Structure 1
Amino acid sequence: MRELHPDVRAGLAMKRELQHRFEAIQERAEQIVARRPSPSGLVIPEVDIHGRLRDLYLAPGTCDRFGSHELVAEIMTAIAESTADARRKYHIDMNDISLLPRPLAEAMRQWRADGAPGSREPDFGKSEK
């Protein structure tokens, strides 16, 4: 079997690295949730960045204190505020420069400078699973 060209091996390694980075970003995003109380403080939803309700806390006596329309307004207000907060957290987390991985171009330059024709694929700073 013929040996792969070094640029092809580097391209395949870069593809794997981009897949790992994308999966890591997705995992980080899915972990972001927000819990903002309603105006009365009796309703606290847990909402993810997509606005999906993951949990809902109603303080004891909340249903007795409000009519159905008022309770709906309390819940919806708290969900809307939680969703906005989750999106703010997402924006802050995804733009945090301390969490940026090593640039691919830098890894490729180093690999090409160190590399010989039979050298290994570029190392992007983490081992394969």
Structure 2
Amino acid sequence: MRERTEEIVARRPSPSGLVIPEVDAMGRLRDLYLAPGTCARFGNRELADEIVAAIAESAADARRQYHLRMNDPGDRPRPIAEVMREWRARTGPGKQLPNFGKAEQ
């Protein structure tokens, strides 16, 4: 499960498209790309707004990816009742059930 979480990375651009952060599934900023000339084009406050907007959008995308990845029906374990039905069908009625390491009484 941890490996699936670590694979999630979101890169959503800012409204101008000049700032692109890289955010992981936990919402942590991993990298930040500023296009050439971005700092000269914006004032301090405008640049900060661009960066914050891009990080917020990337974090929201990473949360969406996390939700989809963790709720994928293909990754869920099968119900134990289904596994046991298949096992019984393969072994037949004459076979003894395993005791799973417990001492017989």
TM-score by shorter chain over 0.5: yes
The equivalent position to 2:2 in structure 1, one of 26, 39, 56, is: 26
Give the total of aligned pairs: 96
Give the equivalent residue in structure 1 for 2:36.
60
Provide, for residues 69-93 of structure 1, a one-character-per-residue CA deviation record: whole Å limited to 9, x for no partner. 1111100100000000110111111
The within-5 A match list for 1:1-129 is: 25-107=1-83, 109-110=84-85, 113=88, 114=91, 116=96
For structure 2, list consecutive stretches of 5 or more residues without a partner in the other structure: none
TM-score (norm 2): 0.77
2:80 & 2:98 partners in 1: Cα distance?
Answer: 21
Identity of aligned residues (%): 62
> Which structure is larger by alpha-carbon Rg, 1 or 2?
2
| RMSD after superposition | 2.4
Query: Any gaps of 5 or more consecutive residues in structure 1?
Result: 1-24, 122-129
| TM-score with structure 1 setting the length | 0.64
Distance 1:105 1:118, change over 3 A: closer
Cα distance in 2, alignment partners of residues 118 and 93 from structure 1 = 35
With over 3 angstroms needed to count, the CA separation of the structure-2 counterparts of 1:44 and 1:30, relative to structure 1, is same
Task: Please report how far the alpha carbon of residue 118 of structure 1 lies from its aligned counterpart in structure 2 after TM superposition.
Answer: 6.2
Task: Show CA shifts across 1:7-50 (max 9, x none).
Answer: xxxxxxxxxxxxxxxxxx12101211110000000000010121
Q: Hey, which of these two has a bigger chunk of helix by percent?
A: 1
